[in-house]
Structure 1
Amino acid sequence: MQKFQSNGKLLITGEYLVLDGAMALAVPTKFGQSLEVTTLNKPILVWKSFDFKDDIWFETVFKINHNEISTQALNNNGKTERLLQILQVAKKLNPGFLKSGCQVENKLTFPQDWGLGSSSTLINNMANWAQIDAYRLLDQTFGGSGYDIACAQHDTAITYQIENNNRHIKKANFNPSFKDSLYFVYLNKKQNSRDGIAQYKANTSNKTYVIKEISGITSQLISCSNLTDCNLLINRHEQIISSIIHQVPVKEALFSDFKGSVKSLGAWGGDFVLVTSEENPTAYFRSKGYDTIVPYSEMIK
């Protein structure tokens, strides 16, 4: 049996602008996804996906015939088609991949709607299995900046930057002394990052200055030594992104009476937000209908 494991991700700074060269801060989560492959003596691939409760949420079977992968089960909300596409791209990148039958068990350790990288962890695991470059597999399937693949592969915080089509990934010494005042709150809906990216790209204004400013905020946040300065950086970051994508910051929209700071992570409008608070904010957010509040130390590796 072969087993592969990848970390989930959260993008702390640089959302959207990372696509245009801003330096972003990203962190791997304690939650992730595993892939177990067992050999079969039949020319088929039996696929089973398990959720965080260990229940099967998706299963299908592919045929392997003369080095081609195919299926007739194309009626489950596009999941089989998407998985077939990934397998076929992996096969194209490594023709020696998947020449014999196998059973695959894919297991998430977090709810799918949390937005921690169910797609990126799958892509990274698949790339490791197929012995191909995960970024190439991502580019030819889901697309995106690739920071989530970097988080899948690293067990520490990283800075991620794209310059001249080259990825610059560096380990970041991000271990804030005030991390006990940091929390992640789930907004009760999953946000499609591809939709957010499309909206961002529709803005064709010159972003040179704000890219530089966001990169500066990333550097300052990594070395930040107190919560007061952290809040100032977070608030400025929210103002910048708001001016670019023409959306109201999440604190102003949902939590205007909250005493701490609130920052969107990744595509605005869903998934998790980062919250700073000197006191445990659980009661406040539950009173607003948001029941998933995860302390920093429980979320981040």
Structure 2
Amino acid sequence: MKKTFYSNGKLLITGEYLVLDGAKAFALPTKFGQNLIIEESEGHIIHWKSFDSDGSIWFEDYIQFSSIIRKERFDDAKNITNTLIEILHEAFTMNPDLITKSKGYTIRTELTFPKSWGLGTSSTVINNIAQWLEIDAFELLKRSFGGSGYDIACAQNNSPILYQLVNEKPVVEKVNFKPDFQTKIYFVYLNKKQNSKAAIESYYGKHGNIENAITKINSITKAVIEANTLKEFGVALQNHEIELSTILELPTAKEALFPDFDGVIKSLGAWGGDFVMSISKENPTEYFKEKGFEIVISYNEMIL
């Protein structure tokens, strides 16, 4: 019997990095996501196959049940397999039925966005596995991949959210965010995927005392959500960029890449890769394409 599960991708609009320390983060689930399709098989083995959005296979392996139970680790050439085993091992400890009530599985994942976009390849897999095994996706993330969990919240919700860790527990609040100016918002792919784990490690190396910064970011996040005009929205996001630039000791995306852009550029998620958000009165697509950034997606095309 075939079982299919689906999870949404994500974009973090405010609170990047600081969400790890309890700041309120504003995040948007995307129209893009990932399917997980499971069929029973034999041999006490999982045949895992992952498909990119163009139908190509980007990962395939056979994983023994015994490797999952022992949390076996292979050399770095099988890094994706190692990560998958780690996730499946933790899932097994949370629900042993994964292995004790099966003879094997054929599993395929199907992205509806190009893997390089960084909209949540890992988080959507973790949430899909959690749905399948009826376990807590936030706990599975914590035990395996790590991170704040905002991406899991996006995977599970079909509307904008406010996300916060309170006493290390996720608190998710749905937000009514349908501004009149959403036609002025575009998302631009920076032609490279950022390594979230490495970015988080860099943040912890620099963040020092950030209590004051959290208070500022929470205030900015409130201003972003409650903005009534494009100008108010842009000013709030600009203030956010300045605050994070100071903490991370990095130039903003606008300073580094688009200093002549007539509008606001907001970094999203891990600075330095994946997407930025642009806010401008005119359609900026041609501007970005002339700069070599071909993938420009409107708010309505991207966001649920």
TM-score norm. by structure 2 comes to 0.94
Q: 1:66 to 1:293 in 2, by over 3 A?
A: closer
One-letter amino acid of the structure 1 residue matched with residue 131 of structure 2: N
CA distance in 1, matches of 2:19, 2:67: 42
CA distance in 2, matches of 1:46, 1:265: 35
Deviation at 1:62, TM superposition (A): 1.9
Q: Give the aligned partner of residue 133 of structure 1.
A: 136
Does residue 229 (structure 1) correspond to residue 236 (structure 2)? The answer is no
Which ranges in structure 2 are unaligned for 5 or more consecutive residues?
none
CA distance in 1, matches of 2:275, 2:227: 22
CA distance in 1, matches of 2:106, 2:76: 21
CA distance in 1, matches of 2:209, 2:61: 46
- RMSD across aligned positions (CA): 1.8
Q: Give the aligned partner of residue 258 of structure 1.
A: 261
CA distance in 1, matches of 2:147, 2:272: 18
Does residue 46 (structure 1) correspond to residue 68 (structure 2)? The answer is no
Does residue 57 (structure 1) correspond to residue 67 (structure 2)? The answer is no
CA distance in 2, matches of 1:25, 1:187: 21
Count of residues paired in the alignment? 301
| Overall identity of the aligned pairs, in % | 48
Deviation at 1:132, TM superposition (A): 1.2
CA distance in 2, matches of 1:221, 1:262: 14
1:25-72 Cα offsets, whole Å, 9 max, x none, are 001000000101011143221111111011222111122359947889
- Say if 1:69 and 1:84, in contact at 8 Å, map to a contact too: no
Q: Give the aligned partner of residue 180 of structure 1.
A: 183
- Say if 2:8 and 2:29, in contact at 8 Å, map to a contact too: yes
Q: Give the aligned partner of residue 30 of structure 1.
A: 31
**SS state at 1:202 partner:** helix
- Say if 1:74 and 1:80, in contact at 8 Å, map to a contact too: no
Q: Give the aligned partner of residue 273 of structure 2.
A: 270
Larger relative helix fraction: 2
**SS state at 1:256 partner:** coil
Q: Residues 131-210 of structure 1 correspond to what in structure 2 (within 5 A)?
A: 131-210=134-213
Deviation at 1:75, TM superposition (A): 7.0
TM-score norm. by structure 1 comes to 0.95
Q: 1:48 to 1:199 in 2, by over 3 A?
A: same
